C-alpha cells in the first residue's frame, strides 16, 4: 500500500531525533493571526528560507517568514550534518548546459558555500560543533578506481587530498570494509539543528518576523503576492518558496509547476550511545565525516559527545523501511564490527529533495516569486549559498542566481502519483550494481 500522507510519515520520522534531544529550542513563535504587509515573504523555515531571510533583512528589506511547523524541523534539523564540497550531480550538467567558464563559476560558488558556513558561525557566534575534515571510502576494487578518479579531480581543482589504499586505509578509517579512502579538509561537519537555530536567531535579530505553525495553504500571484495561512494573510512584493518536499503537502496549489521536478527520497540515521573518545579517534582519524561512493550510500561521523551517527538505507517509495533501526545497525556493524555491544539510542529520518539530474533547481516564477529546491542531499552548505543568491537577485544583481536558473530541469516521469514506483524500479538496478560491485 502506498503511504497516504508524506506529511504524516515525515512527522513520524522526527520522533527520535538525536539533534532535537540535545538542543533546547526557544519557545515556539506564535502562529500568524493577522494581515501583514512586507517587502518579501518567505515560505519555509529550513536552512534555505532562513538563509534567504537573513540575507534579505541584512540588505534592509522587510521580511516575513512563514513556517508550517517549527523552524528547522524539516530536513535542515535532521540531516547527517555533512557539509560537502561540490554538487550531488558533479560538474557534468554544468559543463554540458552552461559551458566551461560558467561551470567553473558554479564550482567556485560551491566552495563559497562552505566558506559561508564558517563566516556565519563567526559572525553570529553560532556554537554548532563545527569540524573540518572528510573521508571518502570505497568498498570494492571497481569503486576504488572511481574513488581515485574523484580524488584526482578534486586535487586538480585545488583541494588537497590524502589518498590511502590497501594496508594504508586504517590510517584514515579502521574498518575491514574499505579498499581505498581519501581525506580532505575543505568538507566537514556540524550539528545541523544548532546551526539552523543559530541562523534563525540571527535572522530575528536582523528584523525578520518569523511565524511558526503557519502553513501557507494558498498563494495568489501578481504584482503583489498574497499568501494565506489558516488564521492570517501576508501581502508582499516578492516571495521566496523554500518549502522543500513538503511545500505541496501544505499548499498543493502554491506552486504546482515546480513540485514534479523534485522527488522526496527517504533517508535515515541512527545515533548510538557515547563511545570512549580514544576509540572514536582510532576508528575515524581527525574526527572526519565519512561517506562511501555507493549509489545508496552510507554516511557517518561522531558527534561532539562521541556518539556514532550512522546514516543510509534510502527509500525511493516514501515508505519507511520495516525494522529500520535493525537494518541501519546491521549496516553500521558491517563497517565497524567491533561495535557489536554498542546500544542504539536514536533513530530518525526525513526526505531529501532530489532533482532528476541531481543539480540544484533554483528559479523564478513570473518576475517576483523565487524558488529554491533540488539540493539533492547537498543542502547543508548549498542552502546558505541559495539564500545569498536569491537576496542578490532581489537586490538587482541577478548574475549568479541566473547561472542556476539557466539549468534545465525535467519533471519526474509519471507525475506525483507514479514517479515513486517508476524511480523505485530504476533504483533497484543501481542497488544491484552496488551489490555486484
Ligand X SMILES: Cc1cc2nc3c(=O)[nH]c(=O)nc-3n(C[C@H](O)[C@H](O)[C@H](O)COP(=O)(O)OP(=O)(O)OC[C@H]3O[C@@H](n4cnc5c(N)ncnc54)[C@H](O)[C@@H]3O)c2cc1C
> Residues in the site for ligand X, rule: CB under 6 A?
43-49, 66-69, 73-76, 78-82, 84, 215-216, 242-244, 246-247, 250-251, 254, 267, 269, 299, 311, 349-352, 375, 377-381, 383
Cβ-based nearer residue to ligand X, 179 or 331: 331
CA distance 293 to 291: 7
Record the cell numbers describing residue 34, joined without a space: 493577522
Cβ-based nearer residue to ligand X, 129 or 165: 129
CA distance 157 to 19: 34
Cβ-based nearer residue to ligand X, 179 or 307: 307
Min CB(113)–ligand X separation in Å: 10
Cβ-based nearer residue to ligand X, 225 or 254: 254
Cβ-based nearer residue to ligand X, 94 or 299: 299
Record the cell numbers describing residue 112, joined without a space: 563559497
Q: Please report where in the chains the cell 554548532 appears, as a residue.
A: 128
Min CB(271)–ligand X separation in Å: 12
Min CB(425)–ligand X separation in Å: 23
| Cα 123 → chain centroid | 22
CA distance 378 to 359: 10
| Cα 18 → chain centroid | 17
CA distance 242 to 258: 11
Min CB(168)–ligand X separation in Å: 26
Beta strand extents in 87-170 (DSSP E only): 131-138, 161-165
Helix or strand or coil: residue 299? strand
Min CB(193)–ligand X separation in Å: 10
For residue 215, report the phi and psi dihedrals to the nearest 5 degrees.
-70, 140
**Contact call for residues 51 and 388 (beta carbons, < 8 A):** yes
SS3 content of the chain, % helix, strand, coil (to 5): 40, 25, 35
Helix or strand or coil: residue 270? strand
Min CB(78)–ligand X separation in Å: 5
Cβ-based nearer residue to ligand X, 254 or 296: 254
Q: Please report where in the chains the cell 501576508 appears, as a residue.
A: 234
Min CB(29)–ligand X separation in Å: 13
**Dihedral angle over CA of 24, 188, 43, 39, nearest 10:** 100
Helix or strand or coil: residue 137? strand
DSSP 370-384: EEEE--TT-HHHHHH
Cβ-based nearer residue to ligand X, 133 or 350: 350
Closest chain position to ligand X (CB): 379
Min CB(417)–ligand X separation in Å: 20
Min CB(51)–ligand X separation in Å: 8
Cβ-based nearer residue to ligand X, 179 or 309: 309
Angle at 235 between CA 232 and CA 241, to 5 degrees: 90
Cβ-based nearer residue to ligand X, 68 or 147: 68
Amino acid at each position: 500500500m502506498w503511504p497516504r500522507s508524506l506529511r504524516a510519515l515525515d512527522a513520524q520520522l522526527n520522533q527520535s531525533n538525536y539533534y532535537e534531544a540535545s538542543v533546547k529550542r526557544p519557545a515556539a513563535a506564535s502562529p500568524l493571526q493577522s494581515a501583514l504587509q512586507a517587502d518579501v515573504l518567505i515560505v519555509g523555515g529550513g536552512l534555505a528560507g532562513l538563509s534567504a531571510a537573513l540575507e534579505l533583512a541584512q540588505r534592509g528589506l522587510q521580511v516575513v517568514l512563514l513556517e508550517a511547523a517549527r523552524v528547522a524541523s524539516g530536513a535542515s534539523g535532521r540531516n547527517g550534518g555533512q557539509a560537502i564540497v561540490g554538487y550531488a550531480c558533479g560538474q557534468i550538467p554544468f559543463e554540458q548546459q552552461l559551458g566551461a567558464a560558467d561551470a567553473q563559476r558554479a564550482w567556485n560558488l560551491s566552495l563559497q558555500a562552505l566558506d559561508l558556513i564558517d563566516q556565519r558561525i563567526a559572525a553570529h557566534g553560532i556554537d554548532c560543533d563545527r569540524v573540518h575534515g572528510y573521508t571518502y571510502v570505497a568498498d570494492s576494487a571497481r569503486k576504488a578506481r572511481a574513488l581515485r578518479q574523484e580524488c584526482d579531480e578534486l586535487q586538480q581543482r585545488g583541494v588537497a587530498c590524502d589518498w590511502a589504499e590497501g594496508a594504508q586505509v586504517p590510517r584514515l578509517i579502521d574498518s575491514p570494509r574499505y579498499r581505498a579512502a581519501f581525506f580532505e579538509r575543505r568538507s566537514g561537519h556540524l550539528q545541523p539543528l544548532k546551526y539552523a537555530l543559530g541562523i534563525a536567531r540571527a535572522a530575528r535579530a536582523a528584523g525578520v518576523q518569523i511565524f511558526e505553525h503557519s502553513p501557507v495553504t494558498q498563494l495568489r500571484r501578481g504584482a503583489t503576492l498574497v499568501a494565506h495561512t489558516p488564521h492570517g494573510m501576508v501581502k508582499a512584493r516578492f516571495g521566496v518558496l523554500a518549502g522543500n518536499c513538503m511545500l505541496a503537502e501544505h499548499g498543493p496549489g502554491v506552486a504546482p509547476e515546480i513540485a514534479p521536478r523534485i522527488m522526496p527520497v527517504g533517508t535515515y540515521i541512527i545515533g548510538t550511545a557515547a563511545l570512549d573518545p580514544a576509540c572514536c579517534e582510532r576508528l575515524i582519524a581527525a574526527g572526519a565525516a565519512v561517506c562511501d561512493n555507493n549509489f545508496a550510500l552510507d554516511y557517518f561521523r561522531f558527534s561532539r559527545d562521541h556518539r556514532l551517527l550512522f546514516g543510509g538505507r534510502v527509500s525511493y517509495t516514501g515508505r519507511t523501511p520495516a525494522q529500520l533501526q535493525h537494518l541501519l545497525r546491521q549496516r553500521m556493524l558491517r563497517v565497524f564490527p567491533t561495535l557489536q555491544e554498542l546500544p542504539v539510542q536514536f533513530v530518525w529520518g526525513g526526505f531529501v529533495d532530489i532533482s532528476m539530474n541531481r543539480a540544484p533547481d533554483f528559479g523564478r516564477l513570473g518576475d517576483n516569486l523565487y524558488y529554491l529546491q533540488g539540493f539533492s542531499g547537498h543542502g547543508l552548505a548549498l542552502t546558505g549559498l541559495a539564500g545569498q543568491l536569491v537576496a542578490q537577485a532581489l537586490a538587482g544583481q541577478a548574475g549568479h542566481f541566473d547561472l542556476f536558473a539557466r539549468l534545465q530541469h525535467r519533471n519526474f516521469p509519471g507525475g506525483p502519483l507514479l514517479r515513486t514506483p517508476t524511480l523505485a524500479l530504476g533504483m533497484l538496478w543501481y542497488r544491484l550494481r552496488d551489490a555486484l560491485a
